[in-house]
Amino acid sequence: MHQDVEQILYTEEELRRRVKEVGAQITADYYGRQPLLISVLRGSYIFMADLTRAISLDLTVDFMVVSSYGAGTVSSGQVEIKKDLSDSIEGRDLIIVEDILDSGNTLYYLMDVLKARKPASIRLCTLMDKPDRRTKPITADYVGFTIPDAFIVGYGLDYDEKYRNLPYVGVLKPSVYQRGAEPS
């Protein structure tokens, strides 16, 4: 275990098993359709890679980079598109793939932007959900794990761009972020 991690929340094996279940659910729900999975970078890159391989459909993928936080780590409510989608989404069945749903600010804004481009449907899939922290009326259609309010890292999730490569999801030691800025 990494020295900055207080506790492992989900092991590699638990993540693998749950991602397969979510993939199977999406496969069943979208039977006969060709959904477009949109990964919101960077946090969802590992989840996206595993999730898409757990779905048996003729899906396509696209990527977006948004930032919801300014220089600090406190959610500003302002979301900026740093990299937009490569293709049109008009008439497509979208599945937005997120690493974690926290305040909901990022997704609340993003859903509006995407809806304006006239997709056939939009659903939201998040690996982690922290419902206690929600300030915007956003719920995910597919949730990997519902977790209490703790700052977690690994499996794509970062603190200050670090720890994304940990193969498990763990709770970050508060002493790590108390040295720097508060995490969001």
Annotated catalytic sites, by residue?
102
Say whether residue 19 binds ligand IMP (CB under 6 A). Answer: no
Question: Token pair 């800025």 is at which residue?
Answer: 181
- The answer to whether residues 95 and 25 touch, using CB atoms and an 8 Å cutoff, is no
Residue 105 near which of Mg ion, ligand IMP, none (CB within 5-8 Å, type-dependent): ligand IMP
Residues 6 or more apart whose CB falls under 8 angstroms from that of 148 comprise 130, 132
Q: How far apart are CA 167 and CA 11, in angstroms?
A: 8
Three-state DSSP class for residue 29: helix
Among residue numbers 24 through 83, which ones bind Mg ion (CB under 5 A)? Answer: 43
Interface positions, 49-68, toward ligand IMP (CB under 6 A)? 68
Query: What is the radius of gyration, based on Cα positions, of the chain?
Result: 16
Does 43 interact with ligand IMP (rule: CB under 6 A)? yes
Residue 103 engages ligand IMP in binding (rule: CB under 6 A): yes
Q: For residue 125, what are the β-bridge partners?
A: 97, 142
Residue 52 interacts with, from ligand IMP, Mg ion, none (CB under 5-8 Å by kind) = none
Of 9-17, 29-37, 86-94, 95-103, which part binds ligand IMP (CB under 6 A)? 95-103
Judged by the rule CB under 6 A, the positions of this chain that interact with ligand IMP are: 43, 68, 75, 98-106, 151-153, 157-158, 184
